[in-house]
Structure 1
Amino acid sequence: MKVLKYKKFVGLHIVCKRCNRQIELSQTQYKGCNHPLERQRYKAVIKINGVRRTKDLKSLVYDDAVKELLEFKELLINPIELNTNLKPNEEKFELFTDFMFMYSDWLENIGVPRHEQKIRSEKYIKETVGYINKFGSFLKKNGGDLSKLTIYQIDKFMLGKYYEYLEETYKSHATFNHNLRALKNFYNFLTIEKELVIPNVPKKMKLKYENPNPTSISDQDFLKLLSVITEKDSIEILKSGAKKNRYRPYTKDGIELCAYTGMRLEEVTSLKYSDIVIDTDGELECIIGTDLKFERAHNWDKTKATKSVYIPISNELKELLERLDYKSNLGVNKYLIADDMNIDRKTLAKQLSHSFTFYRRQAKLGDDFSIKHLRKTFLTKLHLQTGLTESMGYQKTASVVLKNYIDKKAVVKEANKRGFRYFNTNANG
């Protein structure tokens, strides 16, 4: 596979915009990227005041890319002074690929005024750019020359064919909608942010109805899973032949903490001893967690109060906290899980997720649930036993809880168990 010319220069990388991998050194090292040369782009990665800033560079010539990188670095160091001397950009962009790269930069807040910036996760940006690349691949397969195809040549008939392609290719409504939402957002960027005078065709494209139909994990299955989380037989052999040890001293505690708090995985790995609240009698009252999903979407600029979740203390959670020696660590700024390990919280979350899947298979349980279902299970039980789920801060409204998290079958079983009757046989008259 051919790559762009590369000589080592601080902050300069080559990325494949098809799979978002850095490929300047070795494709093998980066999991076998084999996408063609036209998918490659020089990228600047600069750290200023501890903040990592990136930008896709326009030039495909090494020397020009280095100049662009240095200009970008100067702009970051002296944003106000440099901006006053900038000449108006007279270059007119029309190619689809140009706007695709602009969209990638915009998602990373490059060149976006502070008040318009949104914090997006690296995963979201990578997936979104991937969806737009997929649209580009479709155009190419259907006769479009991406080196010449302008954004104005993509008409409603091309977009209609792509809609048909998505329908035929993705039977899952969720996957279909992910692809279509990315296309809709891309066109919103073109028409609103770039102010292109083109019809916003995807605006008329209908998303498919998604029926969440949440399922919860049975008590028996969860207890069976916990019973096999041991150091014995903990090696997983991947398809590549690589071996992974899925056991850590904190694996079982981490999975139980997910189950007993009902928090999302990244939120669980962020819980600390200082989040534990005790009452006036010195007894456990609750744990105060943070709704990180809400914070990213609605409080990225920290102008609102942090959205807290008040986690009730079940008997199981109390026993777990006692095992974690919470009394000796009350008020201490230490993580409940793996605090003594030099491990990033995101890496820890991924590790727990992989371990859950491995041990679920070790327990010979079905593949129809993942670690995410622990949250659905918790909220279903909380709803059935208290009806106060949204009041504790788990979700903003009851409708979100009922639609996305409550296992309807579990509700029916509980109604039967409680002796639901249609007629009150003791009623008079």
Structure 2
Amino acid sequence: MKRKKLPKQKGKGMTILCMETTCKKEFSWTHKIVNEKITQPTCKLSGKKISTCKHLSKHRYRVRVHIPGTSKRLARKILNSTTYEMALIEAIEFRTEFMEDLTGQTSSTHEKVYLNYLVAAQIEYLNFLRNINVPEHERKNRTEKHIKEQKKCLKLFNESLTKNKVNKRTITLEKITPQHVGYFHSYLINDLEYANSTYNKKMSSLSTFFGWAIDKYSVEGKNPFTKVQNRSSFVDKDSITKKEFDSLLNIIKPENGTVTSKSKKRAFQRNLYRPYLKDALRLALHTGGRREEIVALRWNMIKELDNKPAFIHINNFKVERMAGEATKDKVKPKIFPITAGLMQILNDLGYKNNINSSNYILCPDRDDLSTATIMDLISKGFNHYYKQLNTGRRLLFKCLRKTYLTYLDIAVNGDTKTLSSHSTDDILKKHYIDEKIVSSAVKNLNIFEE
């Protein structure tokens, strides 16, 4: 039986444990040079060199991870791999999953010599997305939802490899070929039966990962995903009708809000009704804003023209995240023209008492609520209540934005993009805001021709 060894520059927390019942000795090293002689640790049972142990078949690699917030407590795992290289990859996976479960963040400590293995590179990529060990000028503010989606895509790719008897832990980036892409293609279409639009997103995510990895680790060869062809997909442009929207608002009541949710352990009931849900949907319909924009609206974002409320000026959060910290100040903001319909909503929510204040327009008392929680409740609330209309259609919250943009484009004769301008208030008014277009939108934009 070939004995297990630990290199001099071993991975953090890597040890060897003797599983013999009467021994249970743990070794943090297996050989070193002392006075120009090779020295080995001794066996607990025989007192002789570890290489002479009679129980080499019971030696296992083990990893120890320090538990944050404690002085000496450790989490340990006996690894299945019989070679040090594969045990190291398994240890990295364990450390990453353990830290993610414990703190919500992945570990930033990795053994660089083995990062060209697929799984280890995937772990490092997720760290990159979270800006761990990324230079400040290269950082981008990505949502946790986006990162989780990328993690899911990587997991699906690994599942496709496993299905085709490819060991995800032993394969390196250099060995990924178009054949493996073909496995992924078949897995998405035949096994998971994904729609074309979902297929395209998954393929795009993997292509982005491999593009990053090739650059990061100077991998020879081209990105194996470059020849993937996008599958034709139908873009859902369904908007909501006045009848549907009015009916939707009418059924948003506490007694209609109960829904059964399922977790890994049990099913439970929750109520999706919230007092601010109707106002959120009305604001979304009359501004065309995304969820995070609606939730972030404050009264001092309202700007005037000729001493009258004319538009709401808000940062374009989505594009700013894509641009990164270094260039986000150059991203054009969003402009929401204040139409008669929107002004009515603002008045209903207390415009006169909140002029120029920094209070939130929607749900101002949110001490115990995060932005993410409110966003989640808005979209889930819309979906839940709309289903109860039984229209035969499947509309999502984003249909309100589509409805607004459709009417806005008609109102401003195709100049919709002009309302996404730029920069500070002074520059905004002097150089970017076309008052004629804002006035045109304010005058002509009537959602549902109210």
Give TM-score, length-normalised by structure 1. 0.70
Taking the aligned partners of 1:394 and 1:40, their CA distance within structure 2 comes to: 47
Indicate yes or no: 2:135 matched with 1:108: no
3-state DSSP of counterpart to 1:209: coil
Taking the aligned partners of 2:210 and 2:233, their CA distance within structure 1 comes to: 23
Per the alignment, residue 294 of structure 1 pairs with 319
State the AA in 2 paired with 1:55.
Answer: S
Matched-pair contact (CA < 8 Å) for 1:291–1:308: yes
| 1:380 shift after superposition | 0.5
Taking the aligned partners of 1:202 and 1:102, their CA distance within structure 2 comes to: 20
Which of the numbers 338, 344, 363 marks the counterpart of 1:338?
363
Indicate yes or no: 2:145 matched with 1:123: yes
Taking the aligned partners of 2:74 and 2:254, their CA distance within structure 1 comes to: 40
Indicate yes or no: 2:114 matched with 1:55: no
Indicate yes or no: 2:68 matched with 1:9: yes
Matched-pair contact (CA < 8 Å) for 1:56–1:101: no
Per the alignment, residue 405 of structure 1 pairs with none
Deviations 1:61-93 (A, max 9, x none): xxxxxxxxxxxxxxxxxxxxxxxxxxxx6x344
Matched-pair contact (CA < 8 Å) for 2:117–2:172: yes
Which of the numbers 233, 236, 241 marks the counterpart of 1:210?
233
Matched-pair contact (CA < 8 Å) for 2:311–2:335: yes
Matched-pair contact (CA < 8 Å) for 2:114–2:120: no
Per the alignment, residue 207 of structure 2 pairs with 184
Matched-pair contact (CA < 8 Å) for 1:272–1:334: yes
Deviations 1:145-185 (A, max 9, x none): 23433333333322223223333344412110111011111
Matched-pair contact (CA < 8 Å) for 1:44–1:57: no
State the AA in 2 paired with 1:140.
Answer: T
| Cα separation, partners in 2 of 1:13 and 1:238, compared to 1, 3 Å | farther
Indicate yes or no: 2:295 matched with 1:258: no
Which of the numbers 80, 95, 99 marks the counterpart of 1:41?
95
3-state DSSP of counterpart to 1:201: coil
3-state DSSP of counterpart to 2:253: coil
| Cα separation, partners in 2 of 1:4 and 1:375, compared to 1, 3 Å | farther
3-state DSSP of counterpart to 2:407: helix
3-state DSSP of counterpart to 2:226: helix
| Cα separation, partners in 2 of 1:13 and 1:227, compared to 1, 3 Å | farther
Per the alignment, residue 429 of structure 2 pairs with none
Taking the aligned partners of 2:381 and 2:203, their CA distance within structure 1 comes to: 32
| 1:208 shift after superposition | 2.1
Per the alignment, residue 309 of structure 2 pairs with 284
Deviations 1:13-59 (A, max 9, x none): 99xxxxxxxxxxxxxxxxxxxxx9996434558xxxxxx97535448
| Cα separation, partners in 2 of 1:92 and 1:237, compared to 1, 3 Å | closer
Indicate yes or no: 2:217 matched with 1:156: no
Taking the aligned partners of 1:277 and 1:199, their CA distance within structure 2 comes to: 51
3-state DSSP of counterpart to 1:296: helix
Matches within 5 A, 1:387-406: 387=413, 388-393=415-420
Matched-pair contact (CA < 8 Å) for 2:139–2:324: no
Taking the aligned partners of 2:393 and 2:63, their CA distance within structure 1 comes to: 43
Deviations 1:186-217 (A, max 9, x none): 21112112111134221122222334241111
3-state DSSP of counterpart to 1:287: strand
Indicate yes or no: 2:245 matched with 1:222: yes
| Cα separation, partners in 2 of 1:297 and 1:38, compared to 1, 3 Å | closer
| 1:377 shift after superposition | 0.2
| 1:353 shift after superposition | 0.9
Taking the aligned partners of 2:213 and 2:68, their CA distance within structure 1 comes to: 33
| 1:259 shift after superposition | 0.8
| Cα separation, partners in 2 of 1:225 and 1:119, compared to 1, 3 Å | same
What is the aligned residue count? Answer: 337
Indicate yes or no: 2:192 matched with 1:194: no
| 1:7 shift after superposition | 7.3
3-state DSSP of counterpart to 1:244: strand
| 1:233 shift after superposition | 3.0
Deviations 1:299-346 (A, max 9, x none): 533553452222122222111111111111011001111111221111
Indicate yes or no: 2:198 matched with 1:175: yes
| 1:392 shift after superposition | 1.0
Per the alignment, residue 391 of structure 2 pairs with 365
Per the alignment, residue 25 of structure 1 pairs with none
Per the alignment, residue 19 of structure 1 pairs with none
Matched-pair contact (CA < 8 Å) for 2:311–2:337: yes
- Listed as ranges, the gaps of 5+ residues in structure 1 are 15-35, 46-51, 60-88, 396-413, 418-429
Per the alignment, residue 380 of structure 1 pairs with 406
Taking the aligned partners of 1:302 and 1:10, their CA distance within structure 2 comes to: 37
Per the alignment, residue 321 of structure 1 pairs with 346
Matches within 5 A, 1:306-317: 306-317=331-342
| Cα separation, partners in 2 of 1:4 and 1:244, compared to 1, 3 Å | farther
3-state DSSP of counterpart to 2:365: coil
3-state DSSP of counterpart to 1:277: strand
- Listed as ranges, the gaps of 5+ residues in structure 2 are 1-61, 76-89, 423-447
Matched-pair contact (CA < 8 Å) for 2:256–2:385: no
| Cα separation, partners in 2 of 1:93 and 1:377, compared to 1, 3 Å | closer
| Cα root mean square deviation, aligned | 3.1
Taking the aligned partners of 2:130 and 2:270, their CA distance within structure 1 comes to: 33
